[in-house]
Amino acid sequence: MDRSSRIKGVLAGGSDGWEVFHKSRAMIAAGVPVTELTIGEHDIRTAAPILQEMHRSALGGHTGYAAVPGTDALRDRIAKRAEERTGVPTTRDNVVVTPGGQAGLFAAFMAVCDPGDAALYIDPYYATYPGTLRAAGARAVAVEARADHGFLPRRADLAAAAGGAKALLINTPNNPTGVIYGRETLEEIAQVCQDHDLWLVSDEVYDTQIWEGTHLSPRALPGMEERTLVIGSMSKSHAMTGSRCGWIIGPKNIIADLIDLATHTNYGVPGFIQDASDYALAQGAAFEEEISAPFARRRALAQRILSTQNVVRSVPSQGAMYLMLDIRATGLSGSEFADALLEDQHIAVMPGESFGAAAAGHVRVAMTIEDSAFEAALRDLCRFAEGRASRAA
């Protein structure tokens, strides 16, 4: 018997982009020491008080079926946080809790796209984006944000692709580039959405990791509240990646539809996870800054290291836990560089090509290991690049 065309089409016959990561894990399993700078996984674990609250809730009996939309307490907490940060009136009726941001993305596109509808996304993109759109039945259409334009999408390019499309997916602060979309860029995006009647799905899971400038949610722009779905998550802001707790914020009518979808798919997030998430959010911005501090520190460390050489160049890192490095001076593609770096130096980074054609000739480095190990790995990467550049010359 054959599989469905939907499941076969998730990767559209291509790669999932994670080959170097899988290769590094295989090396580690075989006993080879590898410095992993691949996935966005904190080097600290979930804070003990959050785990204690999770434990207390589970022992207290919150282990049965949880409220499918999310507990009232957690939805109220998320709504209050969103309203305080954006100024947009938000209640629990604007919020549905999901099993992580990834599930939120899938649900959002199930809600706004019919099978075959074009859904736009920005290249470079997080590796799962096109597959998520296809899994939801949409036709994934990339819009390039070029390196020579700071990896910012341009209004003309978006408008050229928008005819007949149903939705646009953006991500700011951006994974993989570390770029933050400023007000001007977001206003251009908003105008395209209004001109072409697009839903905007805004992935804002890195909104607490801001190194330069400010984060602006496009939901707060004029005319955008009624056409924007915001994806949030506990994973990055509170080092709760394995807890799988995220949310969608949007208009009340579509949130009601998404609750119906949750009833017929995941049937909610465990209650003890939701109680721990409510507790974590209640700790406020100071706790979120504590979680993000190591990445700010390592970004500054990387800037000092990179300033001492001229082969590896960094895309300005304004937010998120990654560096996007331009290694084209080596004469290698991002994939070739990442493969060679893993083989020669046992350092694993993500090729830019894993995130789309626009990131070719780059690699993404996750700032997710202890400071001294991170410094040593980045210095080794630069020395390796200098050697390859000399060979290419």
pLDDT, one tens digit per residue, over 364-390 is: 999 999 999 999 999 999 999 999 999
370 and 221 belong to one structural domain: no
Cα dist from 255 to 79, 98, 144, whole Å:
13, 11, 30
- Choose one of 255, 283, 311: the last residue of a domain: 283
- Choose one of 229, 251, 283: the last residue of a domain: 283
Distance CA 23, CA 219 (A): 40
> Which residue range is the domain that position 130 belongs to?
64-283
Which token pair is 241? 């990646």
Note the pLDDT of residue 392.
81
Over the chain, what is the mean pLDDT?
Answer: 96
What would the pLDDT profile of 61-112 be if each residue is shown by its tens digit? 999 999 999 999 999 999 999 999 999 999 999 999 999 999 999 999 999 9
What would the pLDDT profile of 258-299 be if each residue is shown by its tens digit? 999 999 999 999 999 999 999 999 999 999 999 999 999 999
Which token pair is 166? 């149903």
What would the pLDDT profile of 128-159 be if each residue is shown by its tens digit? 999 999 999 999 999 999 999 999 999 999 99
pLDDT confidence band for 5 (50 / 70 / 90)? confident
Residue 15: pLDDT over 80: no
CATH number of the domain that residue 165 is part of: 3.40.640.10
As a whole number of Å, the end-to-end CA separation of the chain is: 54
- The 362-366 sheet, strands edge to edge: 35-37, 347-351, 362-366, 322-326, 313-314
CATH number of the domain that residue 21 is part of: 3.90.1150.10
State the CB neighbour count (10 A cutoff) for residue 171.
25
Residue 28: pLDDT over 90: yes
What would the pLDDT profile of 159-197 be if each residue is shown by its tens digit? 999 999 999 999 999 999 999 999 999 999 999 999 999
Domain for residue 391, yes or no?
Answer: no
147 and 291 belong to one structural domain: no
Domain for residue 300, yes or no?
Answer: yes
Domain for residue 56, yes or no?
Answer: no
Distance CA 201, CA 250 (A): 9
Q: Helix 72-86 to helix 271-282 angle, to the nearest 10 degrees?
A: 30
Distance CA 51, CA 54 (A): 5
Give the torsion sign (CA, 42, 250, 125, 270): positive
235 and 192 belong to one structural domain: yes
Location of structure tokens 């649900």: 107
What would the pLDDT profile of 246-255 be if each residue is shown by its tens digit? 999 999 999 9
Which token pair is 295? 């990445």
